[in-house]
Amino acid sequence: MFWLRHSTGDGSPVAAGPGSEPVRGPRRINTVLAGVREFLTHGTTLGTVPTFVLSQLYEVADDRDLPMQARGEGSHLRYYAKARHRAAEPQEPVGRASDEEVLALLRACRSARDRFIVLLLARAGLRRSEALGMRREDIHFILDASVLGCRIPGSHLHVVRRDNDNGAWAKSKRSRAVPVDFLLVQAYDQYVVERDTCREARDSDFVLVNLFRPPLGAPMPPGALNDLFDRLSRRAGLADGVHPHALRHGFASNAADAGAVLDEIADLLGHASAASSQVYLHPDPQRLRSAVERVAALAPRRNG
């Protein structure tokens, strides 16, 4: 964990002293550790890794100390494994990305692909892994998709859960279609032209691929999207930075500000329950003021 926190990855020795700035944050470290645990656990099932390694990776406990309400049905003990090594992540709530921040990110983009990514999250509300797991067959940016065997009218995209080589997968098991506007369609058209100039990308079925660094044509991994938004935020002069998930919050909030009801927002976000969508709603301050003014307008006027 110390090596992951401070190693630059160029082979130089790690000699971090007090006050050294980390190279990777807790979330990135935990992502790498999760991959290591999955790899070694799979190795134990194949017999290529000794089984005692699992005891170094996981702490096995039972539910006897849990309250009755948390034990579930049945009286027998249940065991669970908890990762031993995990960096502490600060529990900071994700806010909505404002329209001004989205515009700043777009101005900071230096490629059509990056502009399409920003708009994909901001105008369609996709999760990071949903965007990176999309295939070209999921893009139906035409008025009538019946020729593709799809009865959904208007330009839209499909979010489908798959096992992807880049580790990106849709969180929800339920596939959904998301309507898109002309800005996203236009951004995609520009990206397709740019993508076609990369010979290695032409044969890839993934929508978002590496165009500017090796391996060219390979699907972008989830971590690359975080790195992209870090660069865009710095380039745009956004001191606090904008996380990819903040654009999803902004999309849901903008939909609510435009009059969408909770069940519509839940369908757009791919939530099975409308209650899951409530944390994504961050009302615009002007909408809150209008609500208060409407209440005041209903109050009976007193004669002076």
Active site residues: 127, 171, 245, 248, 271, 280
Cα–Cα distance measured from residue 124 to residue 190, given in angstroms and rounded to the nearest whole number: 17
Q: Which residues touch 72 (CB under 8 Å, ≥6 apart)?
A: 78
How many residues make up the chain in this entry? 304
- C-alpha 224/C-alpha 128 separation (Å) is 10
Strands 156-159 and 139-140: antiparallel
Neighbouring C-beta atoms of residue 278, cutoff 10 Å: 13
Query: Which helix H or strand E contains 159, and what residues bound it?
Result: strand 156-159
- Between helices 244-257 and 112-124, what is the axis angle to 10°? 50
Here the tokens at position 296 are 């005041």
Q: How many CB atoms lie within 10 A of CB 104?
A: 18
CB 174 within 8 A of CB 270: yes
Q: Which residues fall within 8 angstroms of residue 30, CB to CB, at 6 or more apart?
A: 86, 87, 89
